[in-house]
A and B are shown apart, each in its own frame.
Chain A
């Protein structure tokens, strides 16, 4: 019990720390736009852009808290390599592998648990070329969910909004761009910045988003209002911006 309560207080902080490092790497890696950093101040402190995550957050590579935090972030542990095309740090690949293997989804896992695990595995396969594709979790629910619930669920799975990692989830997102955009509008109205940022990342990836949404301004808005208190907001916003820059 004391273990669990102790862990409960460290794990969210560890997730935040890794997310801040990843967000910083995404920002630094976007050298195309480094001449104009934009109006948004990076809420995270300057962190090493290169080098393994473990070192950046001052933990040993086999630290269980680090592994657990990597499992929570899922494929985003490897986001700089996946989004910027830079070679992944071998230690980060080892960390992602450890996180994948330490927390396999059980038979009764939720869709979010199962899909985030699948996304981590798919990211590893994409970068290393090793292993066989695992059986993808069910995605049938995405067709029937009313848009607010679909949007919230996909915002929790924004780590799968990646170029080059195809999934039934991404296919579902492509089918419902207006519903996801409505979810973004709803999330901003609710001041749910984490949900808005996750949805903004999906919206940067999928075609068919109405231009009247004003996504670039919306991302900057969400970053300003929500980025200071949640490093994952910054991570998703930077990932979204990278996706928008890469879009044709």
Chain B
């Protein structure tokens, strides 16, 4: 049996992220009129996912040091958190500054003035009544919980309203539902830190249907969503090993370590800003999924024999 592809995917993805770390730096007008999706969202995703990589890698592993370096870089690029205070001051009723900040809080970074302001805004009736899609509402509530806010608001009523929380017919899966499902799991399990937080019925549901979704995403070459589903496979109380699926996924990694969101694997390295915007999310997801999968399979090369029904196989 060949070695599990996850360690190689992790190393190469981190190398690409590290080589492009300056692209994560927010522009000078980030807290002003810049589009938050391009100006600050990648920075928050970097923090959230590197915090998870840090948690799941051994301190002696070079990947651990790279993730640590990227986290420190991200916090410094946010002005040691001043960016989030500026964003929240500019748009006090928006939830995204809190969601982005929560990723940093996961890694142990705090900004007192931001949290003082967040305590006020999240304490309003307006915040509680905010119109958000269910999976987004779950993201916001979990971000609050990580800062110690809204402790008397449980997640169960929120998780019950998401697509995945409804235990939907699995044949209704499509991309938007898939992203809702993966994020449901990431929020409930604290990005893989607490697999036991997943209710038993949901764990059984995902064990049954995740292989079908993953298989079709790989056939469809949806690498970004396939990466998220591989991460979910590693977030289950009994992780799915998905060795064959990992091989199909790893084959889509470019020579410089990046993943494109979908389609042909990139043939050659590319270094421009447009390529970074395209590839930063799928490559972050690859590092995250690979760190979780490696932790779940007992380290490099340690691929336990797949259980019957726990693998997909047949992925092209």
Residues of A within 8 A of B (CB): 146-149, 176, 178-179, 181-186, 188-190, 196, 210, 212-214, 217-218, 221
Known A146-B314, A147-B312, A186-B216; contact A221-B211, beta-carbon cutoff 8 A:
no
Partner of A189, one of B173, B309, B312, B314: B173
Q: What is the distance, in angstroms, from B207's C-beta to the closest C-beta of chain A?
A: 9
A185 touches B313 (CB 8 A): no
A181 touches B216 (CB 8 A): no
What residues of B have a CB within 8 angstroms of the CB of A149 in the complex? 314
Expressed in whole angstroms, the Cα–Cα distance for A196 and B171 within the complex equals 10
B314 touches A184 (CB 8 A): no
Is B174 an interface residue when CB atoms closer than 8 A count as contact?
yes
A179 touches B309 (CB 8 A): yes
Q: What residue in chain B is nearest A196 (Cβ atoms)?
A: B171
Q: What is the distance, in angstroms, from B243's C-beta to the closest C-beta of chain A?
A: 12
Is B101 an interface residue when CB atoms closer than 8 A count as contact?
no
Q: Kindly list 12 other residue pairs between chains A and B, CB separation below 8 angstroms, not including A147-B313, A178-B208, A182-B211.
A: A146-B244, A146-B313, A147-B215, A147-B312, A178-B309, A181-B208, A181-B212, A185-B170, A185-B212, A190-B219, A196-B171, A214-B170
Expressed in whole angstroms, the Cα–Cα distance for A146 and B212 within the complex equals 12
Give a binary string over B210-236; 1 marks a CB under 8 Å from any A CB, 0 the rest.
Answer: 011101100100000000000000000
Is B271 an interface residue when CB atoms closer than 8 A count as contact?
no
A212 touches B171 (CB 8 A): no
A212 touches B215 (CB 8 A): no
Is B205 an interface residue when CB atoms closer than 8 A count as contact?
yes
Q: Give the residue among A176, A182, A190, A212 with the most B Cβ atoms within 10 A.
A: A182
Q: What is the distance, in angstroms, from B133's C-beta to the closest C-beta of chain A?
A: 23
What residues of A have a CB within 8 angstroms of the CB of B170 in the complex? 185, 212-214
Q: Lowest 8 CB-CB distances: which A-B pairs, in order?
A: A146-B313, A146-B314, A214-B169, A185-B212, A182-B212, A188-B171, A148-B314, A189-B216
Expressed in whole angstroms, the Cα–Cα distance for A190 and B211 within the complex equals 15
Is B19 an interface residue when CB atoms closer than 8 A count as contact?
no
What residues of B have a CB within 8 angstroms of the CB of A147 in the complex? 211, 215, 312-314
B312 touches A217 (CB 8 A): no
Expressed in whole angstroms, the Cα–Cα distance for A178 and B211 within the complex equals 10
Interface pairs (18), CB distance under 8 Å? A146-B244, A146-B312, A147-B215, A147-B313, A178-B208, A181-B208, A182-B208, A182-B215, A185-B170, A185-B171, A185-B209, A185-B212, A186-B215, A188-B171, A189-B212, A210-B204, A213-B170, A221-B171
Partner of B171, one of A176, A179, A184, A210: A184
Expressed in whole angstroms, the Cα–Cα distance for A185 and B178 within the complex equals 13
What residues of A have a CB within 8 angstroms of the CB of B278 in the complex? none
Partner of A190, one of B169, B216, B309, B311: B216
Q: What is the distance, in angstroms, from A150's C-beta to the closest C-beta of chain B?
A: 9
What residues of A have a CB within 8 angstroms of the CB of B215 in the complex? 147-148, 182, 186
What residues of A have a CB within 8 angstroms of the CB of B204 in the complex? 210
Q: What residue in chain A is nearest B173 (Cβ atoms)?
A: A189
A185 touches B173 (CB 8 A): yes
Is B160 an interface residue when CB atoms closer than 8 A count as contact?
no
Known A147-B211, A178-B208; contact A213-B314, beta-carbon cutoff 8 A:
no
Q: What residue in chain A is nearest B170 (Cβ atoms)?
A: A185
What residues of B have a CB within 8 angstroms of the CB of A221 in the complex? 171
What residues of A have a CB within 8 angstroms of the CB of B209 in the complex? 182, 185, 212
Q: What residue in chain A is nearest B217 (Cβ atoms)?
A: A189
Is B167 an interface residue when CB atoms closer than 8 A count as contact?
yes
A189 touches B208 (CB 8 A): no
Q: Give the residue among B167, B173, B216, B244 with the most A Cβ atoms within 10 A.
A: B216
